[in-house]
């Protein structure tokens, strides 16, 4: 028994080494630095976000209304449109390693077709089609966004966004700005005056397990709409007036597949091939000594997208130079097959680049901290970033911290990209103080700190 166990272990190790070798060739980086400067689960000091080229090919722009894809597509099941799996992003780059083309540490899983919405169904779903799935609109005087649980699923977010557009038709607009790897809509909420020259992008929960920030975004949106509709004020100015010359774009769920995995496990992924990849990440991270967690725990603390790519290392700021990550799909620190290779990255880029964007804010957890600076040399840009960080610090009470420039050990993140590559002031806001996923018990404090952020930004940039 013991011998066989030992033999199995050796066999597994050999298989993994083979797998890494194959993938390593494709990635063009040594597999020797596997456990480099990016320990599994690290937030990587939160400050480094950056990203890649222009908006990519997220063709779903401009779609108005909600696409509650799921409902109808689930009923029209079976119509296996495997073609759509290849996704929006990686067509131009090499295929993602997956158990299908890589020796797996365990026996290969049996593929089962999973019903999924097609791109067409996402576009076509009308409000009427959604009604059966949505249920009742909460009665007037009742909040749409509930704060009794932190598990805020994609379906709930879609439903609540729809209700918000119904209750506040002139105040809340919702579009689809991209499509995740698993074909979920990436929603973009637009507040304020779109004709303004002052646009701001805020995105939340790019790291899956930081999904408490999706709840924060939804609360910010509803409170804004409620206050604007009710004639509310901020620092003596009417909220409606504050938003007359500014437009804020929010992506409450920037990484919907990953967030769903962290909330509900592998079954939340509709494509079997993606479940295989995420499961493979766990096996690989386990054998590499990057995690000792069982599968359930591993998934609950998952950070990447459904390709096993750490989105905050997928942006085009030092992407090529960064070599201390993990050269294979993982919960974190795998930078992807190319800068901005992932559709979620592309959605974030698209929103910023299709508007005259004054600044970009990335919500992460945890730390109660605002990272800025990124050691850019342009004085004007640095001053603008200092103002942004100071304004947010004043609104939230969070301290500010200088983030260093990216290098071979430190991947450039989303904010690095906007600062270094796009020349747009950017900061990273880290909410909460516990270990992710943060519990609902942290939410009241996070809300208290961040409830005025939208108003503050409107005050700063809408004048």
Q: How many residues bind Zn ion (CB under 5 A)?
A: 2
Contact 324, 313 (CB under 8 A): no
Nearer to Zn ion, 180 or 355 (CB): 180
CB of 210 to Zn ion, least distance (A): 5
- 193: which residues sit within 8 A by CB, 6+ positions away? 243, 244, 245, 246, 247
Q: How far apart are alpha carbons 428 and 289 in whole angstroms?
A: 30
CB of 164 to Zn ion, least distance (A): 26
Tell me the window of 102-110, 177-185, 253-261, 359-367 that interacts with Zn ion (CB under 5 A).
359-367
Best CA proximity match to 229, nearest among 240, 237, 219, 220? 240
Bridge-based pairing state of the strands 247-251 and 199-204? parallel
Nearer to Zn ion, 204 or 282 (CB): 204
CB of 15 to Zn ion, least distance (A): 32
CB of 43 to Zn ion, least distance (A): 5
Best CA proximity match to 72, nearest among 117, 123, 128, 119? 117
Which phi and psi angles does 200 have, rounded to 5°? -135, 135
Nearer to Zn ion, 162 or 374 (CB): 374
Q: Which of 159, 173, 175, 207 binds Zn ion (CB under 5 A)?
A: 207
Q: How far separated are the first and last CA of the chain, in Å rounded?
A: 74
Q: How far apart are alpha carbons 85 and 289 in whole angstroms?
A: 31
Contact 355, 249 (CB under 8 A): yes
Nearer to Zn ion, 211 or 282 (CB): 211
Q: Where are the beta strands (DSSP E) in 264-386?
A: 357-365, 369-373
CB of 410 to Zn ion, least distance (A): 14
CB of 363 to Zn ion, least distance (A): 9
CB of 186 to Zn ion, least distance (A): 17
CB of 207 to Zn ion, least distance (A): 3
CB of 317 to Zn ion, least distance (A): 16
Nearer to Zn ion, 273 or 291 (CB): 291
Q: How many CA atoms lie within 13 A of 336 on its CB side?
A: 33
Nearer to Zn ion, 234 or 374 (CB): 374
CB of 26 to Zn ion, least distance (A): 27
Q: Dihedral, CA atoms, 129, 134, 140, 145, nearest 10 degrees?
A: -130
Strand order in the sheet with 173-179: 63-64, 173-179, 185-192, 247-251, 199-204, 357-365, 426-431, 369-373, 399-403
SS3 state of residue 42: coil
Nearer to Zn ion, 67 or 365 (CB): 365
Q: Applying CB under 5 A, does 275 fall inside the site for Zn ion? A: no
Nearer to Zn ion, 115 or 404 (CB): 404
Q: Applying CB under 5 A, does 364 fall inside the site for Zn ion? A: yes
Q: Applying CB under 5 A, does 290 fall inside the site for Zn ion? A: no
Nearer to Zn ion, 121 or 331 (CB): 331
- 102: which residues sit within 8 A by CB, 6+ positions away? 19, 22, 23, 280
Nearer to Zn ion, 190 or 414 (CB): 414
Tell me the window of 34-42, 129-137, 364-372, 395-403 that interacts with Zn ion (CB under 5 A).
364-372
Q: How far apart are alpha carbons 91 and 7 in whole angstroms?
A: 39
Contact 276, 107 (CB under 8 A): no
Residues at the interface with Zn ion (CB under 5 A): 207, 364
């Amino acid at each position: 028994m013991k011998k066989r166990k030992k033999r199995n272990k050796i066999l597994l190790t050999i298989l993994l080494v083979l797998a890494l070798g194959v993938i390593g060739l494709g990635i063009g980086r040594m597999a020797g630095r596997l456990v480099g400067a990016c320990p599994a689960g690290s937030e990587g000091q939160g400050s480094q976000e950056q990203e890649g080229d222009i908006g990519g090919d997220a063709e779903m722009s401009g779609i108005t209304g909600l696409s509650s894809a799921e409902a109808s597509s689930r009923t029209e099941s079976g119509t296996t449109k495997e073609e759509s799996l290849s996704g929006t992003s990686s067509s131009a780059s090499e295929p993602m390693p997956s158990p299908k083309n890589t020796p797996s540490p365990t026996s290969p899983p049996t593929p089962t077709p999973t019903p999924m919405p097609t791109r067409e169904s996402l576009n076509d779903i009308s409000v009427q089609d959604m009604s059966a799935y949505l249920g009742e609109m909460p009665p007037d005087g009742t909040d749409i966004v509930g704060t009794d649980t932190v598990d805020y699923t994609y379906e709930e977010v879609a439903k609540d966004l729809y209700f918000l557009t119904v209750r506040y038709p002139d105040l809340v607009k919702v579009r689809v700005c991209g499509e995740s790897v698993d074909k979920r809509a990436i929603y973009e909420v637009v507040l304020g005056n779109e004709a303004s020259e002052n646009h701001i992008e805020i995105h939340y929960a790019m790291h899956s397990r930081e999904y408490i920030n999706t709840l924060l975004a939804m609360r910010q949106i509803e409170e804004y709409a409620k206050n604007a509709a009710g004639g509310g004020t901020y620092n003596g100015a009417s909220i409606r007036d504050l938003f007359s010359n500014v437009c804020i774009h929010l992506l409450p769920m920037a990484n919907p597949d990953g967030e769903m995995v962290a909330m509900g496990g592998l079954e939340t992924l509709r494509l079997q091939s993606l479940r295989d990849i995420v499961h493979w990440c766990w096996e690989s991270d386990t054998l590499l000594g990057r995690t000792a967690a069982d599968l359930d725990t591993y998934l609950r603390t998952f950070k990447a997208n459904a390709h096993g790519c750490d989105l905050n290392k997928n942006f085009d700021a030092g992407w090529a130079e960064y070599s201390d990550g993990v050269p294979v799909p993982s919960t974190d620190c795998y930078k992807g097959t190319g800068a901005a290779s992932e559709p979620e990255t592309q959605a974030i880029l698209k929103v910023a680049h299709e508007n005259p964007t004054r600044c970009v804010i990335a919500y992460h957890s945890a730390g109660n901290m605002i990272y800025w600076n990124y050691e850019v040399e342009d004085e004007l840009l640095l001053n603008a970033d200092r103002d942004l960080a100071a304004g947010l610090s004043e609104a939230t009470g969070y301290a500010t911290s200088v983030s260093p420039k990216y290098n071979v050990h430190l991947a450039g993140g989303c904010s690095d990209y906007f600062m270094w590559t796009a020349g747009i002031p950017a900061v990273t806001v880290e909410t909460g103080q516990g270990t992710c996923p943060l519990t609902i018990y942290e939410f009241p404090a996070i809300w208290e700190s961040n409830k005025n952020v939208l108003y503050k930004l409107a005050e700063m940039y809408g004048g």
